[in-house]
Structure 1
Amino acid sequence: MHGPASPGWLLVALCAATGAYCLLRMRSSDETQRRAAGDEALMGFGMAVMAVPGSAFTPPAWVWPAYAVLFGGAALRALWVARSGTHHLHHLVGAAAMVYMAAVMTASPTAGHAHGGSGVPLLTGGLLLYFAAYVLVSGVRLLPVAGAAGSAATGSAAAASAPAWGDRPELARACRLSMGIGMLAMLLTI
């Protein structure tokens, strides 16, 4: 991406850590969670590589078209899987945003949007709105529900029934939130 180096490296670290956690979530016993974690790991690592500051590494010209093909395939897979549940539509939008950013980088690898006009292109603006709304909704979903903390059981029976740390839904939501923030930051820089 074309932003300053320090925030770029922070974004790389955030996305790589998120991708690594998603890889660990793939060890879940729940097949649906494993598949979603795999999609999210691909997105996290793809975003980490894309966010490497241009001052540190300038990729060869073939990288961005390869990204477009890779995430185009991920978008097609998300579209296919979305038949079984609408929660996969977010993966479709995320993969399509990656294809879009790769296409922008292919068209203008050093200058971002070089359209000659002022303002934000319509597609970039739409994606920014989507991911801003996604981040806000995801953040609200992470807030504790009143009374949930007081009703938690204590003792070894509660510990035995608690999900494994990789299966905890709040950690998966936090993972998705961090990727949404990362996508928002990346879209702001193109």
Structure 2
Amino acid sequence: MHGPVTAGWLLVALCAAAGGYCLLRMRSSVDEQRGSAGGEALMGFGMAAMAVPGAVLAPPRWMWLAYAVVFGGAALHTLVSARGRPHRPHRLRHHLHHLLGTLAMVYMAVAMAATSSGTAGASGAHSGMSGTMTGMSVAGGIPLLTGALLIYYAGYVLGAGARLLPGPATAGPTGGGGAALAWGDRPELGLACRLTMGLAMLAMLLTL
């Protein structure tokens, strides 16, 4: 029983750390780092809250609905901001990835709200990774949609991990040669945070 609880708290810690670093990126002098940091911080802290082990906290149904509203609003904001300005292809891909992430959070919150009323009495008896997302029934969610999201995030995690592998030395992303970058400006740390949240999303989707 300690394994799932430990895994849940590890997931909470990783997501909270990623969210905290995204807050630091909001003060970056690099526009590309600063532009999406707020939305990613919300994702990180939201996933940390949803990953609290079920043995510690069993949120009521209205809380899952509140999660759905918050991330639905974040999805709408991402969509509006993406349409309101031209983007280079990689920035557009990033906006689409963030939009999919917020919609996935809405999907998981709605699935948990739909099952929480029927599983409230049994949530304390859940074991395995189902304890990571409080009160989740293994029958929650739409299998085809869950499977498609799992495939997407598995591919994203593999791609992000490959981009973090050491490669040939190149000039810094800001064109400053070998000048040291501030912690909030380092693109590899931003990518590492997105990789962490991708792994967390995979773990959460597996509980549906």
Normalised by the length of structure 1, the TM-score is 0.86
Contact 2:19 2:43 in 1 (8 A): yes
Partner Cα separation in structure 2 for residue 14 and residue 89 of structure 1:
23
RMSD: 2.2
Residue 149 of structure 2 is matched in structure 1 by 127
Provide Cα deviations, 1:45-91, integer angstroms capped at 9, x if missing partner.
00000000111101122100000000001111111222333120001
Note the 1:1-190 alignment, pairs <5 A.
Answer: 4-83=4-83, 84-85=86-87, 86=92, 87-109=94-116, 110-114=135-139, 121-145=143-167, 147-148=168-169, 161-190=179-208
Letter matched to residue 58 of structure 1: A
One-letter amino acid of the counterpart of residue 200, structure 2:
G
Query: Secondary structure at the residue paired with 1:89?
Result: helix
Q: Is the 1:65–1:103 Cα contact (8 Å) retained in structure 2?
A: yes
Q: CA deviation at 1:125?
A: 0.4
Shift of 1:31: 3.7
In the alignment, the residues of structure 2 paired with residue 93 and residue 68 of structure 1 have an alpha-carbon distance, to the nearest angstrom, of 14
The count of corresponding residues between Structure 1 and Structure 2 is 178
Q: Distance in 2 between matches of 1:82 and 1:97?
A: 18
Runs of 5+ consecutive residues of structure 2 not aligned to the other structure: 117-134
Structure 1 99/152 Cα, relative in aligned 2: closer, same or farther at 3 Å?
Answer: closer
Structure 2 length-normalised TM: 0.79
In the alignment, residue 71 of structure 1 is paired with which amino acid?
F
CA contact (8 A) 2:138 2:207 kept: no
CA shift for structure 1 position 158: 5.9
Task: Give the Cα–Cα distance (whole angstroms) in 1 for the partners of residues 165 and 99 of structure 2.
Answer: 26
Structure 1 spans left out of the alignment, 5+ residues: none
